[in-house]
Amino acid sequence: AASLPTLVELAQIRGDLHVHTVATDGRNTLAELVSAARALDYRYIAITDHSQALAMANGLDEKRLVEQIAQIRELQASCDDILILAGCECDIRQDGSMDLADDALAQLDLVVGSVHSFLNMEPAQMTDRLLRAIENPHLNIFGHPTGRLLLRREGFPFDFERVAVEAARRNVHFEINASPERLDLGATFARTAKARGARFVISTDAHHLRHLENMKYGVTTARRAWLGPADVLNTLEPGHLRAALRRT
């Protein structure tokens, strides 16, 4: 009989790669989030505040983003026990371009690209939008890739297989968003993406310290998709994570 695969476990998660601070619509400071990550015994945390398109979330423009990067580097200089990654949840615009200039994105350790607007595009247009985003060399992770909100909004339709194939080819990873409101990707899509060679991160999209504890829900979704630790980037130690994030 075929043996069951070894599935990813919560204890193997080494850090959270999608969290928000008071700089945009989060409730906690950079220092508070780093302390909370340390309390969870994480090796790293990525600060990923919103980009400017999300005005209601007080999204960062290039100037504020560069200032935040400097704050992160300064805090990192006084922390040798945890890696603080400078990131951004950057909106994918209607035409598939990124919401911040490439020279700003180039200064980041990772970029989570997310769709928050024009969710009712025709499937073919949405597919083109996401394929164009993949072409941006700074994009590392697709945030909540179908845009669904459980009990409130279906995911937007697009050619998922085509996007998964291209994401795998270009080393862009799919987020399994552990927020109980999203759980996006769902297990069925995650299984499809894995079959196409894609890899994943499991992140909480935390807007408050207590949201960091939602990681377990993302891990459960990953297990339902039969993902092993090798499929999930944030099971890696810091040095290996950095290498895995590099675009091909």
| Reduced 3-state DSSP string for the chain | CCCCCCCCCHHHCCEEEEECCCCCCCCCCHHHHHHHHHHCCCCEEEEEEEECCCHHHCCECHHHHHHHHHHHHHHHHCCCCCEEEEEEEEEECCCCCECCCHHHHCCCCEEEEECCCCCCCCHHHHHHHHHHHHHCCCCCEECCCCCCECCCECCCCCCHHHHHHHHHHHCCEEEEECCCCCCECCHHHHHHHHHCCCCEEEECCECCHHHHHHHHHHHHHHHHCCCCHHHEHHHCCHHHHHHHHCCC
pLDDT of residue 5: 82
Q: Is the pLDDT of residue 3 over 80?
A: no
Residue 193 is encoded by which pair of tokens?
């993406």
Share of the chain above pLDDT 70, in %: 99
pLDDT digits (tens, 9 = 90+) for 15-27: 999 999 999 999 9
Bridge partners, 86 (sequence order)? 47
Instruction: Tell me how far apart the alpha carbons of residues 33 and 211 are, in angstroms, rounded to a whole number.
Output: 11
Does the pTM of the predicted model rise above 0.85?
yes
pLDDT of residue 55: 86
* Residue 1's pLDDT band (cuts 50, 70, 90): low
Q: Is the pLDDT of residue 114 over 90?
A: yes
pLDDT of residue 56: 84
More reliable by pLDDT, 246 or 237:
237
pLDDT of residue 247: 79
User: Among all chains, which residue has been given the structure tokens 């999300």?
Assistant: 54
Return mean pLDDT, the chain.
Answer: 96
pLDDT digits (tens, 9 = 90+) for 157-192: 999 999 999 999 999 999 999 999 999 999 999 999
Q: Is the pLDDT of residue 248 over 70?
A: no
Q: Is the pLDDT of residue 2 over 90?
A: no
pLDDT digits (tens, 9 = 90+) for 68-88: 999 999 999 999 999 999 999
pLDDT of residue 132: 98
Contacts of 89 by beta carbon, 8 Å cutoff, 6+ apart: 18, 20, 48, 49, 50, 51, 112, 113, 114, 143
Q: For 36-44, what is the mean pLDDT?
A: 98
Q: Is the pLDDT of residue 61 over 80?
A: yes
Q: Is the pLDDT of residue 222 over 80?
A: yes
pLDDT digits (tens, 9 = 90+) for 117-148: 999 999 999 999 999 999 999 999 999 999 99
